[in-house]
Chain A
Amino acid sequence: MSQFRSVNHPVRRVDAYEKVTGRAKYAADLRFDGMVWGKVLRSRYPHARIRSINAEKARSLPGVLAVLTAQDVPGAKTFGIVVPNQYLLADDRVRYLGDGVALVAAETESIAQAALALIEVEYEELPGVFDPLAALEKGAPTLHAEAPDNLAVHHHVQKGDLAAGMAEADLVLEREYRTQFIEHAYIEPEAVLALPTHPFGHYLTIYGSFQNIYNIRRSVAKVLALPLNRVRLVQATLGGSFGGKDEVMHAMAGRAALLAQATGRPVKMVNSREESILESYKRHPYILRYQAGVKKDGTISAMKIEVYADAGAYASMTPFVTWRSVVQATGPYQVPHVRTDIYGVYTNNTYTGAMRGFGSPQVCFANESFMDEIALELGMDPIEFRMKNALVDGSVTATGQVLNRHRVSLKEVLSQALEAVQYQDKVREYRRFNETNAEKKRGIGVAVSYRGVSLGGEGTDAAGAYVSVQQDGSVIIHSGLVEMGQGLRTIYTQIVAEELGISADRIVFLDTDTSVNLDSGPTVASRSTIMGGSAMKDAAGRLRLTIHGVAADKLEVAQDDLTGEAGIIYSRNNPEKKITFEEAVRHTALRGLRLTELGWYQGPKVSWDEEHGQGDAYFTYVYAANVAEVEVDAETGQVEVLRFTAAHDVGRAINPENVRGQIYGGVAMALGYGLLEEVEMDKGVTRNLNFDEYFVATTMDVPDIQAIIVENPDEFGPYGAKSVGEPTLEIGAPAIANAIAFATGKRLRELPMDLERVLLGHSLRERRTKRGSVER
């Protein structure tokens, strides 16, 4: 029996009913009187100078209310959270095919669409650069004046003495891995609706499919030259994001606001799927060069890692994404001597940014494939090899951090996963199977990870919460961190219910509104439970003290003798002494005490020394182990994932069902990453713009998933909770790669491991003629 009443239980999702019955309002569902439609004219070339724009014909089309270009942007021309080099509308140059060149507002969507075709843009095409290695060469075309070498960022990690470490090794192995562009593939394409301010009005309001709502507000305020208090953003129900509705929404919200101000009318903009895939940023493709020195007994003595990340046209989150990569690149192993360098490089491809995993899926794929390759080379069992080098309590990470503030549970999660699949039995079974089958081959593969929780050395880490008890004992809560399908509203509701001793159904969660909520930073880095949850606990805990104080008075017992459960506050020593929560609240209100609290939680200290490439990068870490079992059709290259087992230490599962949901979803995305998905970028031109050609895993492709929740409560999390959102997809692809290598004896070092790569060992690229046409 759990020590908790609400937390740690599979409470039903608070937003499930509206979503499954189709009643939830997404941004594209919103309508206002007098509303008009906005559309974006995007670039014709991946790299070009804009000679002139003539919008006369478009302006004179009946029904067109405004045609705007960069000239009409009243404030800053560019935005960006780390490096503000992304244009709201292209100034004199376009740097990728998704760049916006002009905006139209018209009475109907089709008039707006028609007007786009009437805008005459004269381009001078410039040579483009589409490969990060080529972009670093001398004389390569450049994208940004401030980056004459096309380098968006370079991070490094330096530990010990690499040369000495390699010299100690009996075996030095070197391998190169490559990953692909990945589309977030949220089910809801981007949408906004902006309401203008009138000349004496106070603020403009933008509803939209927003993830990082405060960052978006900052950009909108900047480009419109308005103070933050005059820009109000309200999040509509979000149809998925996975890190994706950030910069693309800075642009969309800014553009809609600009049109709303120019026309004085509410302006709605909704991307089609094609527009969404064309313009929105992707997960970075990486080129990863791994070198390791290992001793005969299987200990790793040194690792040298060099990584090139394609940043595409703008900085976006590249500096932070690559930082997580550089910290975690060696994987969860004790490596005494390390040198890691990562370069984020500008190209004229679609820009790349945050996506679930945030720099970990790429390094996990390389590192965990590499571990199996080293073990094979040593003639050692890959599990034994991992166990030998695994981080344990008190280990020192590649960045010099001593892991002594939390339980280092790597071996525990790995052991639990292996036990659940009966690993050694499976190894024998599949070997036998493969001896007697020529057409089909089976394999089992393992991958493990550690992951820093929350933002770490990336930046300021704090979050707030609002909890208000009404006079009848019902409760309103809201937060500056947003629901995007991950279950945040349910988690926060459970935490408040736990603290107040009431049931979850007495709590209502309000929509996120930047002018009302506390700026809590971005909803990223799997931080909403640990950061926002702690803030909720803080606020609700203080309300409990107030209310229990009044109750103690009424009941004439000591306050610390009181506890609350199911809406009753009672004495532990004498349960007959009790009062309902409502009654206690009524008395609290009568006494004129405050029944609303703002909670706040500031993340524990972290450190990062960029010059020396060392630091206590994150305040705590989570650990995971995945096991994939596959069947490969040796004659067609088809891979079927037979079963998947995922063990995750989440600290404490605030909602175990929700944790399982995260694991199932993460595994499905990992399967797509490993086997199916790739945004095909052909010299800056996106080839697959819809889901007829961009293949995400269907329910039929997702196997039985065994989710194993491991709980080692963390001192910094609410009730010990850490995080689960991103770790669930970072090691699926290498587990599958290792299983395929087991099955076929062939190592695949590039993603996705599609039919051609599995059968032939390399990809085949189509010279496509017509969209949707059959592959011949």
Chain B
Amino acid sequence: MKEFDFVRAGTLSEALEFLAVRHTATRVIAGGTDLMITLRRNDPSWPGPGYILDLTGLDCLRGISREGDRIRIGALTTHTQLAESPLLKDKVPFLSAAAFSVGSPQIRNRGTIGGNIINASPAADTLPPLLALEARCRLVSREGERDVSLTELLTGPYRTSLRPQEILKEVYFQIPGEGTGFSFQKVGRRKALSISRLSVAVLLSLVEGQVGKARVAVGAALANAARLPEVEEFLEGRLLDRDVAQEAGKLAAEKVVEITGRRWSTPYKEPVLLALVRRALLAAGAPQSP
């Protein structure tokens, strides 16, 4: 494993001060479920961090709360907390479902939403629902705060626009209106401890069967988790039925292949993405969507 000094931040300003001075040699750690693996991999092309800055003492980065018509989630909130939160289960059940699909109980108890976002794996499970919610992220540094959309934050596989002296503080989104439907669909190789081979999150508002707002985001399909605007546009204003859902699925698969080109996995992912998008739309559009 890489050698490093371990520093535990007592307050947020202490952490930001430390980063302001030593950001080039520092990696922050939350649950460590991604970072520890990177450290242990002993990649010879990476000298390793000089410092590991532990954020887990910063209680101000924890918790799920409702603030008016918004929900804010502190970066240190664990997947277990996301999965069990009555507020999330009530207002945005697909986010809880996605968090519940992560790893195993041990991983969900340690892994955080902040780590999931900043690690920026193309297959990170909370990202498709957060993207469908048009979530925004608050990034802080000694110099102050910055507010970016999750879409802007994600810049590629395992890449974000977070600056080295910044910390992700929290993520927030508007509470979707009554009658909005949700669905999270995931295909993995097994039932637990299973990285997504493909995932889809759908948020849908229907007025008498007609699609008002549609948000469709995919995981493990593109360089990073992303929305598919063409599919959303296609859906808006249509009467949702199986054929339309099927068409939308087809369009989603087409768009993804257009972006990625044909790869080794395309013969599998193309038909499966179609099916998952269709299923997600029909599930989200069903009267009592789960």
The chain A residues found within 8 Å of chain B, CB to CB, are: 439, 635-638, 640, 676, 692, 695, 697-701, 754-756, 759-760, 764-767, 771-776
Contacts and interface: CB of A to CB of B under 8 A. Distances in A.
B272 A775 contact: no
Contacts of A773: 157
B39 interface: no
Interface in B154-199: 157, 187, 189-193, 195-197
Contacts of A698: 104, 190-193
Given A774-B157, A776-B260, A759 B190 contact: no
Given A695-B190, A700-B192, A760 B122 contact: no
B121 interface: yes
Given A764-B267, A774-B220, 12 more contacts: A635-B275, A637-B272, A695-B189, A695-B190, A698-B190, A755-B189, A759-B268, A772-B37, A774-B123, A775-B265, A776-B122, A776-B221
B264 A764 contact: yes
Interface in B6-50: 37, 41
B190 A776 contact: no
Contacts of B268: 637, 755-756, 759-760, 764
A698 B122 CA distance: 24
Contact of B264 (A700, A767, A772, A774): A767
Contacts of B191: 640, 698, 700-701
Given A636-B275, A764-B264, A764-B265, A775 B190 contact: no
Contacts of A776: 122, 157, 220-221, 223, 260, 263, 265
A636 B121 CA distance: 22
B192 A676 contact: no
Contacts of B275: 439, 635-636
Interface string B76-93: 000000000000000000
A636 B276 contact: yes
A58 B164 CA distance: 38
Contact of A771 (B41, B121, B123, B279): B41
A113 B223 CA distance: 36
B285 to A, nearest CB: 16
A265 B255 CA distance: 64
A766 B93 CA distance: 34
A635 B190 contact: no
Contacts of B264: 764-767
13 contacts: A635-B272, A636-B187, A695-B190, A698-B104, A698-B193, A701-B191, A755-B197, A759-B268, A760-B267, A764-B267, A765-B264, A775-B197, A775-B265
Contacts of B193: 698
A42 to B, nearest CB: 15
A695 B187 CA distance: 15
B271 interface: yes
B41 A636 contact: no
Contacts, number: 75
A697 B187 CA distance: 16
Task: Choose among B37, B189, B272 the residue with the greatest number of A CB atoms under 10 Å from its CB.
Answer: B189
Interface of B: 37, 41, 104, 121-123, 157, 187, 189-193, 195-197, 220-221, 223, 260, 263-265, 267-268, 271-272, 275-276, 279
Contacts of B37: 692, 772
Contacts of B279: 439
Contacts of B276: 636
Contacts of B271: 635, 759
Contact of B122 (A766, A767, A774): A774
Q: Which 6 A-B pairs have the closest CB atoms?
A: A635-B275, A700-B191, A700-B192, A774-B123, A698-B192, A636-B187
A700 B193 CA distance: 9
A759 B266 CA distance: 13
A713 to B, nearest CB: 40
Nearest to B220: A774
B187 A755 contact: yes
A766 B267 CA distance: 12
A636 B187 CA distance: 7
Contact of B220 (A635, A638, A775): A775
A432 B121 CA distance: 42
Contacts of A635: 271-272, 275
Contact of B190 (A701, A766, A771): A701
Contacts of B187: 636, 638, 755
Given A774-B195, A776-B122, A766 B265 contact: yes
A772 B41 contact: yes
B189 A676 contact: yes
Task: Choose among B191, B192, B196 the residue with the greatest number of A CB atoms under 10 Å from its CB.
Answer: B191
A55 to B, nearest CB: 21
Nearest to A762: B267
Task: Choose among A636, A692, A764, A772 the residue with the greatest number of B CB atoms under 10 Å from its CB.
Answer: A636
B232 to A, nearest CB: 22
A756 B267 CA distance: 9
B272 A754 contact: no
A776 B225 CA distance: 12
Contacts of A755: 187, 189, 197, 268
Contacts of B190: 676, 695, 697-698, 700-701
A700 to B, nearest CB: 4
Contacts of B41: 771-772
Contacts of B272: 635-637, 759
Nearest to A769: B157
A670 to B, nearest CB: 15
Contacts of A638: 187
A439 B276 CA distance: 11
A637 B267 CA distance: 12
A638 B197 CA distance: 11
B121 A774 contact: yes
A568 B193 CA distance: 53
Nearest to A771: B41
A701 B191 CA distance: 6
Contacts of A754: 189
Contacts of B123: 774-775
Contacts of B267: 756, 760, 764
A277 to B, nearest CB: 15
A436 to B, nearest CB: 16
Contacts of A774: 121-123, 157, 195-196, 220
A760 B269 CA distance: 11
Contacts of A640: 191
B62 to A, nearest CB: 28
Contacts of A676: 189-190
B96 to A, nearest CB: 18
A10 B157 CA distance: 54
Task: Choose among A635, A695, A759, A765 the residue with the greatest number of B CB atoms under 10 Å from its CB.
Answer: A635
A717 B48 CA distance: 60
Task: Choose among B41, B220, B268, B275 the residue with the greatest number of A CB atoms under 10 Å from its CB.
Answer: B268
Contacts of A697: 190
A304 B253 CA distance: 46
B273 to A, nearest CB: 10
A236 B115 CA distance: 40
A74 to B, nearest CB: 34
A771 B220 CA distance: 16
Nearest to B260: A776
B222 to A, nearest CB: 8
A396 B93 CA distance: 63
A79 to B, nearest CB: 31
Task: Choose among A695, A699, A756, A776 the residue with the greatest number of B CB atoms under 10 Å from its CB.
Answer: A776
B221 to A, nearest CB: 8
A297 to B, nearest CB: 43
Contacts of B104: 698
A439 B187 CA distance: 14
A639 to B, nearest CB: 10
A640 B187 CA distance: 12
A765 B268 CA distance: 11
A698 B190 CA distance: 8
A773 B197 CA distance: 12
